[in-house]
Structure 1
């Protein structure tokens, strides 16, 4: 009894100190939840060393804080178990022998890490295999990989992953690994193995998006569920069934965001699953307010799975690096090329004027996204000078047709009545001679944020270049339509 009491006091101190550290406003984020063990043996051992081995690159080497809860969402305090360890060094341990009923609850844990471990603005490079274990071992040294693959791996990777050439994880292969980090790279020495021979490994690194494998693309966004039931279940198997041939069998990566475009890290929901095997699951029971946000997901696949309803604009080169750098700002490009670039591009590409990719050029890129555009700052470069870049954007097909001229935007109605009726016949009457008789394209966006009608979630009754645009309030699940404006693509 005295022994159990001392254990309880000891573990209570650990847990209390941990809870205190978790409340400090670090600029960090939380990893996904991990559940590697259950209490069917001697207890529930969610040890950090094992979690690191089983989830390479997913948990930072030195977490700032740890959280634990039962699989049903109860806190440790609510569950009432005596906890043996709960800290950022050992991880979490609940021993059956310490419990009054001799059985722990089943727990899961997560860790507070630097934002790069939750940041969706990173990607994985392609796999590299520069050595085999025929000599002293398998030496996938980062310095050598950088020399042999100039510009293909970022100078300071966020994480490293290793697997055998047959696809086994390091843990599954069972080898003793000498080094596996983002400084040295990966080393497996034959002398350390029981059979004196390592498996043959390949490695990849987590880097900014410009270092991604360009032989993949992102599918369109999918939103098959909402959190009105038990949560938001964007299950890959269901998405495959409901969208045959649209998502590759084995995606390379998954991204999730709310319907309003916020990242998972930004909204702060506790995510139950997010991987390329299951898909994405947010359970209401895991949230503080018992309700998940509504999410959509997309997957990284071979190019054949890309959305074919988009195209690439022409290349734009509005700046050169003679000043502070090369600033291909999307806002400036919109102003200087009215109607030529869609309001919210799906993707951006950049290359030098000589046709080199960003990775091949080797520059450090400050921004490259569909919100800001592309920025390369001279001060960030080793030689203090960026290459000269051009950019293009992925947009609906009408933005790539050179023989189309766009009208101005028209907003003749608002949804205060039965809906928003931007009909072509009415617009013709109210604007004689301003819109061609037979438009080839139509575009509708919200009047306040320029969000395309296809991305707002409204059910659109008509969107046709020959009839115009109609959103009816009666068709919406909640409330009325947003307020839209339209324009038409006419022959030049």
Structure 2
């Protein structure tokens, strides 16, 4: 303040102070743990551990899992308070102190502070926590300012499914990691969950039958090729040889008076042309039920078909034979269907037949052609000629060329020709090739390659000539 005369002057000074406020925290600076999600809010932010992790968001640790099939967590154990030296949740001690509760090979452990449930890895304490089979969890006071927290621990163990008796009472249960199995005890059969007395173990069926056990019962079924009720099985007669087949069933006699006599000779005489003289097998059965005669329990005389067929005598069977029918395995007469050429003779034989061309014809019996003749008086065959191999265009055994190339050997007007394959002597008409063969005076024989897949056979030809006309 300055005085000047009576006036007073007052000076006021103002200082402006600039204050820099702290910046508003945001997620852009990645303040959270790597396994946490950050969320901005007005003037702040929050950190939350991601699913599968636990912590305060600034530090997140993986939550141990026990989700494998057949495994589950045990209860939490706290065997030791942090007094004296440590809080020692030792695996081996825990197993000894809790028999039957903890498996020998856990797949995971989970340890936490007993009171707060905080994961041991988030406490900041120095902890020894190895795999379950090594140590469990140990917190030593000396390493933690003489005061460990009180921890509890649990283990991921295979579930012993056998404890709940899942198997049949007649089965043995075997536990295995993540699973179990049930096996029926000796003398029982089934899947282990249901076991039944194995009646098949005593072999109740016929040796030629298959036994199938079922709950409370069993069944016997004759094997393929056998017939019967499974307790008694007999071989089914066969008639499968080539050229053979079964006749129809015959029933010539009812079981009246003395017998049911299906006698072979009587049947042959009474059914002419239907039964062969030497069958290779017989098949006899009860007419009504179709049951094989060997399964009836009756006394039957049944020999080979050529001996007696089948005879059931009433006197041997409480005066009442069943009514039987019989059939025979006979050679098929293939000749009856005329399989041969019309100019061949067919001969039937057991299981087969043969075709032979008639005299004056040649061929395999299925195809026969007339053999040319040269039997007229004064005529005879020339030699065979082969002037051309089947090269280039054809095998051309041309009549005029042959006469020119063989002067004085072939007459001008043959009355017949005979042509054949040179190597096999097969008549040209039986080869299947397309052949031009006219009368000798026209062309002789011509086989064109183009008409025969580019490969004619090599033919030879001869002529029937008058010896006086050369």
Instruction: Name whichever structure is richer in helix by fraction.
Output: 1
Note whether the superposition's TM-score is higher than 0.5.
Answer: no
Shorter chain as normaliser: what TM range? 0.3 to 0.5
Higher relative contact order (CA 8 A, sep 6+): 1
Which structure carries more strand by proportion? 2
